[in-house]
Each structure stands twice: as structure tokens, then as C-alpha cells.
Structure 1
Amino acid sequence: MVLARLTGALGATALTAGMLFVGAPTASADQVRDAQWANAYFDLDKVWSVSKGDGVIVAVIDTGVKANHPDLSGSLLPGYDPGGQGREIKPTTEHGTGMASLIAGHGHGNGEGVTGLAPGAKILPIFHGDGGAMPQGIKWAVDHGAKVINISQVTDLVEQDSFTDAVAYALQHKVLIVAGTGNDGGPVRPPANVPGVLAVGAVDKNQRIWPQSNYGPEVMLTAPGVDIVMAGSGGSGSCTSQYCMADGTSDSTAYVSAAAALVFAKYPDLTPGQVANRLVKTAAAPAGASKLPDSHYGYGVVRPYQALTANVPAGSAQGPLAAAAGAAAPSAGAGATQETKDPGSDGAGTGGLGSPGAVPGVKQSSSGSALPLVLAIGGGLVVLLIVVIAIAVSSSRKRNRNRAQGFQAQAGVPYGAAPGWPPAQQQPYGQAGQPVQQQPYGQPGQQPPPYGYPPQQPPYNNPYQDGNQSR
């Protein structure tokens, strides 16, 4: 069964694109844990030997979180519903509960139930409201202690300026926003394409891109997002059991948010950009990628243990995050002096990762003042004189220009090119002076399948499907 969930009038779309489930009462809770294949990929025992995310607050802007789910008991803080209806803990669908469980689920009993990547973190549940309420939720999260804001949603961004302002507000207060790219296989959707947001795509068990994961230059990281088992709301929405299985960039976004919480817990003085820097520098590069960032994988698949333990220079305060319009870069704080400055970082962030000019509808900040009328008139006269002179000499110069074009065309050099053409190709973020060698997936020399080609995945015991499932 494939259930595409759209919140139409609310202006937001949940990014778990196929909530797949059957009646889980026949499945034991330990089967739930066994089915969480991402736990083995992350190697939780090693990760938790370093950090469990203790003391870090992760805001989940979503459809509400079921506070009394046994795998989230004690993990929720008082949240916020912009409509004042208490929906932050009265879920309208199972989606928000699922995201919270992937971040901070702690299971229950003797190794039973869903466990998240950062079980020591606290969840700040925020109901997403309509598209215009989401920026309000971001600012509320910042003002109530969140260090990471998880947005496993896409929106039409009717109020784009207010969203851009909210992202800038978060960065100024050292809060990292993580958002999913979208699930329709097209360009990266808002808010993931807003400058300053860490955009996340989804991969499967073989660390191959999920065909429906949206892509583009804004993608920074990928994470597990296929056949993901999570907590359900147990009676509301489409998931009528305590546990669900899903595909989507929602799930991968929750995992990257959890990884950021782990890093913040160990390195509390780092800025959001420096936390993103650690995640990016230690990501596993996709097999066969000749240039990073890749439009589908970003810099690769997140690896939390390496992000916690590798010798990664703190780098600039902004790191790989594109600056949000109007956002002043946060001070680096003590974290910037813990390690040597990243030689591959010029302090200006990275080009091509969601810069303001690359995001339709997002205004760039600009400065300048109007010229006095007298100067404008004088300037116009000067321009007119130049035009007259140019017309007078154009015929004599045309013949020489044509001849020059012919000579340069023979040499393979564009007309008018400066000495030294072509310019040297600019290194993408993290290539120059990168302290950690990214490890590709697959065997040496193995070529990856083309994008959109779903690879074969090893079967495993799935207690949620009854054999009648269709996608």
C-alpha cells in the first residue's frame, strides 16, 4: 500500500512518501528493533560510546508527536502549536511521531521497540501549521533552546521573505536547520533550498540514491531513507499500529538531525556551519563520483561516528552552509580555537550550495544609495557623448574585430579572452586541504548504476508486510 500524504490546505507536505504498514500486533517489539537496518549501518554501539546527544534539544516541526508512546516516554519537552489547539502532542498523522523516534527514540523494556540515533536528545514538538506558520515555529524553537530544527516537510513558501528571515534568525543564534529535499524526483523543494538550510536526500540499504529523492546543487548530505521502521501514532492518521515502515527524505532528514545533535553534544561551542562541516568532511563519498558535491548525494552519506571522532579542523563559522539573506555569520566561539583552521575554507562558505541567486523567489540583500539628480543628468550627457563617438568609429573597428575573431577562433580562444584563459576550475568545498579521506561505497573500480535505477537489496525479515503490499 502506498499512501501519499498531502496536507493541502496547510500548505505543507510530509516527506515520508510511502507510509507502508500492516497490523503490527503480530510482530514482537524485538522484531521492530531487528528491522531497523540503519542501526547496523550507523554502528550504534560505537557511536554511543562517544555521544548520545545528551543535553541537546531537537525541534521537530511536523504533524505533532505522540507524547505517551513507550519509545519516546520522557523524551518530549513542552511544545508549541501556532493555532493554540495542542496539536503538538495530539498528532494529526503518525509522521511527526515517526520522525521524533528516529531522532531520540530509546525503545522500551529489554531491547524492544524503536531506537533513534541520538536517544539522549530531547524533542521539542512543534505543529507545522500552514505554510506561513512554519517560520513562526522556527523562531519559537530558537527562543526555546533548540540547537537543531528538523523539518521533514516541503512547502510552497507563500511567505518567502518571512521564511528567509527565520532561517537567518536561527543561524544568528547558532541553531542548525535540517530539511528534506522532497520525494518527487525533481528539483530540491523549499525549505531545503533556502540558503542556510542543510538539505538532505535519501539512500537505500546499499547506499544508492533513492530514485524519488529530489536533487540539485543544494543537496549537502544523504542518509538512510528506504524501508525505515519508526514509531507510529497508534490510532491516528494512516498508521493504526505502534510501528510503521516508510520510504522518504523525511527519514533521512531525521537521521541527519540526530547526527547533528550528537556532534553538538560533544562539541557544544561549534557553530551550525562548523557542525555541518564535520558532517560533510566525514561523509562517505558515493562510488564512482568524480566530483563533489554531487547533485544527488551531496558530499555523501552521513557517518556519525566519523563525524564525532575524526580530526576535522573547525573551519569558518559559516562552513559549507550558504548564508541566508540578512544573516550575520555567528561568531565561531571557543570551538574555532580547538583545532587548526581548515586550509580548504576561505571563510566565505561554499559556492553552489543554495546561494541566494540560485533559489527562485528568494530575494538577495543589497545595499546602495540613490544618486542626486544633477549627477544623474551629467552622467547621462557623458554617456550620450560616448555613444556618439562609438558610432563614429565603429565602422573602422569592425573590420579589425572580425579579423581578430578569425585568428582567435583558429587558436581555440574566445574573442576578448584575458591572458591565461581558461581559468582554473574552482575546488568544491572540502576538497582542498581536506583532513579526512572519504571512503567510496562498493568495490574498487565498480561503477554505480545510473540515477533512478533501483538496485537489488538484500532481503530481511520484515514483520510489517503481509505479501499484499504494492508500491
Structure 2
Amino acid sequence: MLGATTLTAGFLLTGLPAASADQVRDGQWANEYFGTTKVQSITKGDNIIVALIDDGVDGTHPDLSGQILPGFDPGGQGREKASGDSHGTSMAADIAAHGHGDGAGVLGLAPGVKILPIYKGGSGGRDAIPEGVKWAVDHGAKVINISQGARSTNSAMADAVDYALQHDVLIVASTGNDGAVVDYPANVPGVVAVGAVDKDRKIWSDSNYGPEVMLTAPGVEIVSAGSCGGSAYCLSSGTSDATAFVSAAAALVRAKFPKLTAGQVANRLVKSAQQPSGAAGGKLPDSHYGYGILRPYEALTMDIPAGPAQGPLAKAAGGSGSGSTAGSSTTDPGTSPSGPGLGDPGAAPELNQPSQSTTPLILGAIGGAVVLLVVIITIVVANSRRRNRTQSVPGQPSGPAPYGAPQGWPPAQQSPYGQQPGAPQYGQPGAPQYGQQPPPGYPQQPPTGYQNPYQGQ
């Protein structure tokens, strides 16, 4: 059984039904950053299907009417249609909401896209994400959004990622929300791992980090659709929303450039990203920002050679990747962008794998005992720190709005896939919140076999 969380810090449960509906649109600061009007003058993502592996989508929301396709629940309970949590509905709206009336409601980044909802769990609370990936591939998805994460892993995911890449489908997943190492499944080679930035383009303090991070996008105080405490709109912070925006941008690129492979789509997103001022030493990829902050308009308009079929996607274990062939290069030194973007891509890094010990057996045993003691102490310290996190969500947008005001949020539950967190946990003032840096000794290595062919020098 796999513990998992939806990767949004929390949904606000107070509403002001009397507030003007256009305040929702005004509260979507990410649209101003993206230049959504310019972006949608080029394409809205028509004819592209984005699969959403989540907790279900409410297709009756007025901002999502006509956008939701018949989906799939691996447990056979119809949970892909809606659930007690609005997380999936909000992710769908970030991607494909069209608003309603005259400029009212949420406008997604790619309102021409159709959403294919897939429930994240199977019967008995089992992790069904790998199964959902394969179902999405077989049912026409060109992009798969997974705003989910867990510390546990599922060995079946590597095969699912490889299956997607072989069928030219791009997978985008959230890095996580506790300021620690990148979660599963974003840490699986071949997945575009996404972190979150705030309104100042600074990394969100709770955004998980590591060598797997490829991109960042707005993820703090995001207004979206969903049933939240008497309101039809929610305000949230998390890598979930950032991931949905990257999936939407990928769909836009697939609509504009239908001949590009999944890897080449990722290549355009990476090479058009805004290089962050806070990147460590100016080298990319940065462990927090990846190659930078998503810029959909530039991804659609910059002169970027297609490059190799695999692009920046790490080759999935045991598979051929996105149209790659044996011996083909995974780097493209001739395609670095001009202007703001990222540095020249370099060779894939070598992994820091532990070498075999040549110490005599008795010394090896002593060393092993010492290592075991250190590990036990580290776990005790880590658990103590996690129990005492008390940070809160940042401040609210100016002025009243129908999605309410920020409050304290409880920590994410490590509930099994296929089970919903209890409704009473949401909206409790003063509850503990995500986010501290990992304690000393916390593992920071990428998974075995991880490659990043665009590793900065």
C-alpha cells in the first residue's frame, strides 16, 4: 500500500458569495505573468487531450462544462467523475477552464484542451498511477498530469513511463510540498518534474528540490475552480498547480507543433524557460528551479531547433525512450537559446554511486554498525522536526474575493491512493503547515538510473 498526498498545500474553505464574479479572474495573477491573452492568440490547445491522474473532476462546474471526457477509475467506483476533495477539479481548471459569462470565472492556460480524468487509486487503496498512465496512453492522451506524490515508490512506474515515451506521450509530475527531496513519481526518469515559484518568481519555500527538477511555474496563491466552503472557487499553494500549468503549456506546444515528439516538446519548454536570478552559481539545472520558470508564449514563439527525439527526458529504465535509437545523442549543443533562457546544455552527469568496499571483513562490520547508528539517529531527528512544522500559507490577494482569505492549513495526510483525506481537516485555523529544509543526512541522490542530459557545467 502506498502513502500519497495531493500536492497542493490547502484549499480555502471560506467564501464570499456576494462578491463580484470577475474578482476570480482578477485574482489569477499567473495569467498576467504568462501573458495568457497573447498565448491564446496563437493557440488554445485545440484537439489535444490531457489526462489528469488525480482524485476526480467535477465536470458540472460552469467553468469546465464541455471540457471533461469520459474517464477511468481503476477501482470501478466512478471516482474519476468527482470526489469530496476539489483538488482534481482545480487542476483541470488550471489547464482547461474557459470561464463563463462575460469574463467571469477561472480561465485556464489552455482552454481548448479536453481533460481525461483518471482516478489515482485502485481497489483496496492500492497505487494505480502506473495503470492510469497506460490507460491514458491507450485512450488518446498526449500529455499526462500527475499532481500527486509520495515518499514510497512503485516499481511498476518505470515501465509505465517507458510505455508512455514509446507512444510519444509526455508525463508531468509535482516535486512535492515539504521542502525535501523530490517525491515519487516525479523522481522517475523520463518524467518532467515541476517545482513552484511565488509572485516574485522566487522558489516557494515548500517546493521539493533535487537533481530531478526540470522546470518551475507559478504555484503560490493560485485561484482555481472547485467547491470550497460554500464557494465555487478555491485559493491554494503547491507544486500541484505549477505542474498543471506546465502540462497546459505542453499541450499548447503540441497543438502548435504537432510533429514534435514528447521529448522535443519538453525541449521547447526547457529552452524557453526564464533563467532564475536565484539559481545557485548561475548554473543550470538548479536543484530548486531546474532550468527555469515556465514561459508559454516564448515556448510557442522562440526559434528553437527540434533537437533529438528524446530531448531532455532521461531514458526510462529498460526502455527505448521517446523515439530514441541506440547510440543516439541525448544532448543538442547546437540548440541553446538566445536571450533569457538557460545555459548551454552539457553532458549527462555521472551518478555518485557508492563504490564497493575493499576493507577487510572485520573493519567492514564495524563500519556497518556505525553507519546503522547514524541512520537511526538521523531518522529520529527527521521525524521530530517533521512533527513540529508550523509554517503558514503566505498572505492573501488584495481586496475581497469569492474564494475567501488564507488561513492555516494542516499537514498533508499520507493516506493510501484511492482514499480521501477526512473533510474536517481542511480550513482549521492554526494547523501546522508544510515546509522545512531536510535534516542533515537526508538522502538527496536521484533514483538509480537517473540521467539528466542537460546537466549544466
Q: TM-score, normalised by structure 2?
A: 0.73
SS in 2 for 1:19: coil
Deviation at 1:25, TM superposition (A): 1.2
Deviation at 1:23, TM superposition (A): 1.7
Moved more, 203-212 or 90-99: 90-99
Contact 1:104 1:121 in 2 (8 A): yes
Structure-2 separation of matches of 1:467 and 1:56: 35
1:461 is aligned, of 399, 414, 417, to 399
Structure-2 separation of matches of 1:165 and 1:277: 22
Measured against aligned partners, the alpha-carbon deviations of 1:351-404 in whole angstroms (never above 9, x if no partner) come to 9xxxxxxxxxxxxxxxxxxxxxxxxxxxxxxxxxxxxxxxxxxxxxxxxxxxxx
Q: 1:324 to 1:241 in 2, by over 3 A?
A: same
Deviation at 1:240, TM superposition (A): 4.1
1:257 is aligned, of 236, 240, 247, to 247
Structure-1 separation of matches of 2:83 and 2:118: 10
Matched, 1:163 2:157: yes
Matched, 1:436 2:426: no
Measured against aligned partners, the alpha-carbon deviations of 1:190-234 in whole angstroms (never above 9, x if no partner) come to 1000000000000001110000000000000000000000000xx
2:84 is aligned, of 92, 108, 118, to 92
Deviation at 1:330, TM superposition (A): 3.2
Q: How does 1:120-199 map to 2 (within 5 A)?
A: 120-129=112-121, 130-158=125-153, 160-199=154-193
Contact 2:393 2:407 in 1 (8 A): no
Q: How many residues align structurally?
A: 355
Match of 1:244 in 2: 234
Deviation at 1:124, TM superposition (A): 0.0
Off by >6 Å, runs of 4+ in structure 1? 453-458
Deviation at 1:10, TM superposition (A): 6.4
1:35 is aligned, of 14, 27, 34, to 27
Q: How does 1:12-411 map to 2 (within 5 A)?
A: 12-129=4-121, 130-158=125-153, 160-232=154-226, 239-289=229-279, 290-331=282-323, 347-349=328-330
Kindly indicate whether structure 1 or structure 2 has the higher relative contact order, using CA contacts under 8 Å at least 6 residues apart. Answer: 2
Structure-2 separation of matches of 1:108 and 1:332: 43
- Identical residues among aligned pairs (%): 61
Structure-1 separation of matches of 2:322 and 2:44: 25
Q: 1:173 to 1:463 in 2, by over 3 A?
A: same
Measured against aligned partners, the alpha-carbon deviations of 1:133-187 in whole angstroms (never above 9, x if no partner) come to 11101000000000000000003445x3211100000000000000000000000
Match of 1:448 in 2: none
Contact 1:270 1:332 in 2 (8 A): no
Structure-2 separation of matches of 1:314 and 1:468: 43
Match of 2:380 in 1: none
Match of 1:11 in 2: 3
Q: 1:195 to 1:455 in 2, by over 3 A?
A: same
Contact 1:99 1:251 in 2 (8 A): yes
Structure-2 separation of matches of 1:178 and 1:202: 13
SS in 1 for 2:133: helix
Structure-2 separation of matches of 1:194 and 1:299: 18
Q: Which has the larger radius of gyration?
A: 1
Structure-1 separation of matches of 2:143 and 2:178: 25
Structure-2 separation of matches of 1:468 and 1:349: 44
SS in 1 for 2:95: helix
Structure-2 separation of matches of 1:302 and 1:322: 19
Moved more, 52-61 or 124-133: 124-133
SS in 2 for 1:305: helix
Moved more, 454-463 or 170-179: 454-463
Structure-2 separation of matches of 1:462 and 1:172: 48
Contact 1:199 1:220 in 2 (8 A): yes
In structure 1, the gaps of 5 or more residues are: 1-8, 334-345, 352-430, 441-452
1:469 maps to a residue whose letter is Q
SS in 2 for 1:279: helix
Structure-2 separation of matches of 1:87 and 1:454: 31
Contact 2:253 2:299 in 1 (8 A): yes
Deviation at 1:470, TM superposition (A): 3.5
2:302 maps to a residue whose letter is A
Q: 1:185 to 1:462 in 2, by over 3 A?
A: farther
2:276 maps to a residue whose letter is P
Q: 1:240 to 1:456 in 2, by over 3 A?
A: closer
CA-atom RMSD, angstroms? Answer: 2.6
Contact 1:132 1:157 in 2 (8 A): no
Contact 1:205 1:457 in 2 (8 A): no
In structure 2, the gaps of 5 or more residues are: 343-390, 410-457
Deviation at 1:458, TM superposition (A): 9.7
SS in 2 for 1:26: coil
Contact 1:19 1:239 in 2 (8 A): no
